[in-house]
Structure 1
Amino acid sequence: MLTRWRWFIAVAAACALPSAAQACSCERPSGDLHTQLRTARENAVAIYRARVTAVDPAAFDGKAAVEVLEVFKGPVKPGERLDLPSGGRGACTIAFKAGKEYLMYAQGKDATSVSLCSRTHSVTPGTESELAWLRTGKLPPLPVALQREAVSCEPCDIDLVGGRLIVAPDESPSSWLWPPQAAEAMKEGRPFFTRAHVDSEHSLIVGMSFDGKPFELTQTHEYAAPSACTRRIHLRWCKRLDVTTPAGSPHPVFKCIEPGESSLQCDESKGRESSWRPPESIPADACLWRTSDTALCTLEPRMRLLPAGARASPVLKCRPQDLDRRDRNHFCQVETKPGPTDKAP
């Protein structure tokens, strides 16, 4: 059975940039790691390892040039050069990075049909066992237990920091503006801030402070960090702000020109406390395996503890992506043994 999975990166892009296409919504394969690997191989028209040689920086309808290094399935050859859709905003395109290697799973009409909805991912140390499986047929080991981390901290909020910059010190924080409204405020010389950019790792806002100084704030995404309570917010003052309206986009885009030195405004890790819960069984169909040892798992609050003496290694150690108790998404990684358990904070 297939379930609907809304990709975090695309959701962030759609929320931050109204000009982006609708959020990328994909069918998530069910089953454990082995089932998902087999399904991805069966459904792919081509599977190959490739290096990105160049990337068109266009946010929409961009292209990435790649060189095929190794072929596991399909009508492609080592040394062949392909142009793949890229950009990272809307239409489920991947934000490829020049110089990096990727394991491509093409699902569609030909070998260029790669997207966020395919199993395509960058080649990292965590993909070695998946590459070995594609080469030899030997599947990577399955975790037999799950262990979740409990964390607490004082959360960072980029909108709150931005809202304080555009009002006097004794006033309550103000709210962000949509880009068209922000462009009007900038034209009239009024303080403002707006969400300027989002990618797989950062959110960025720009604005004009209450005393007329242009600024840029950057915050790491909770889903780009290895766990909740690790986000940071940095401030840079700009020489000026540039605003343009790209072709094909109905909304203006802001850019900080000649930013100064970065200063840390918020660091969740300073007051971070964490502990590990007891090992539990792995819920069926809870995890989307991005590599052979990393997964995004949706976990219910109720735990299903392992019986006393049950095997608990290898273990899937899961860290929450957000402090919100309603957010059940966890970033999980296979490790050799569970962590020491303690009372949750």
Structure 2
Amino acid sequence: MKFGVFIPQGWKLELKSIEDPVAKWAKAVEIAQLAEELGYDSLWVYDHFHNVPKPAQEAMFECWTTMAAISQRTRKIMLGQMVGCNPYRNPALLAKITSNIDVMSGGRLIWGIGAGWYRNEFNGYGYEFASNGDRLRAMRETIEIVTGMWKEPSFSYQGRYYQLERGECDPKPVQTPRPQVLVGGGGEKVTLRIVARLADASNFGGKPNEWAAKAEILAGHCRDVGRDYDEIQKTWSPEIHIRETEKELVDGGSRSTWGEEFESWRAGNLVGTPEQVAEKIAAYQALGCTGFYPWCSDYPSTETMRLFAEKVIPQFR
């Protein structure tokens, strides 16, 4: 069982209370280092340019520059993205970026990749927002290119969406046989089929019955392609909010980024006392979930982060 935590980047306006952008970044670094001190297995960042629930002209630190910087301010904790947006970067350049980060961090990269969904960002930054099918098929080609360039001295590729001739990617990643490839998104027909063929891990959400249904579909795709389902890590990245007492939770109300009512938000995320959160994790563990990478809804406070590390995670180790 692996446990990670997101660092605050500003995507959900969690740094809005800090005025100075330099101080905002200092808070992100402080929390990344605290996560390592608390014994988390991994740190996670989003790959977005605009805030949610709508753009707010508020700081949002970019994914890969954040990864590079945090790799130099931590020592042993793994570094992942939930998840990189495929259309935002050329796949050969992405091979170079990811390989560099793995070397810079001493072999701590988890490479997260997804097809992208936030249309407002695509428009704002001038990226084409292709159909779902095209975005997913392009993502599949990117995984083939990046993992090929990680491995081969030079790599050529002729696909429907990308072509390259004798692309070189040095230095190679230092992890063997390669950094973990995590595909995000629970699309049943295409995304989970890509996971079965090409990925080491898959992150998909949903309440327990929804999560279990997606896991079963992934198992079916694995059977179809002759893949061992159990060798794929299955993870969940909900919002998390922990307080010592029920009264504190109820009095605090919903902290949903999307304005969801308290009971609904609580039901679909890791919201509760330490004991209640542990019960939820155990339920997902019984379904086959092997990793939990939540975002703390009370940032820049570290109360949830500390309670999760000190009172919940030890129950599973």
Do the structures match in fold with TM over 0.5?
Answer: no
* TM tier, smaller: under 0.3
Between Structure 1 and Structure 2, which shows a larger proportion of strand residues? Answer: 1
> Relative CO higher for 1 or 2, CA cutoff 8 Å, sep ≥ 6?
2
Q: Counting helix residues as a fraction of each chain, which structure ranks higher?
A: 2
Higher radius of gyration, 1 or 2 = 1
TM-score by length of 2: 0.21
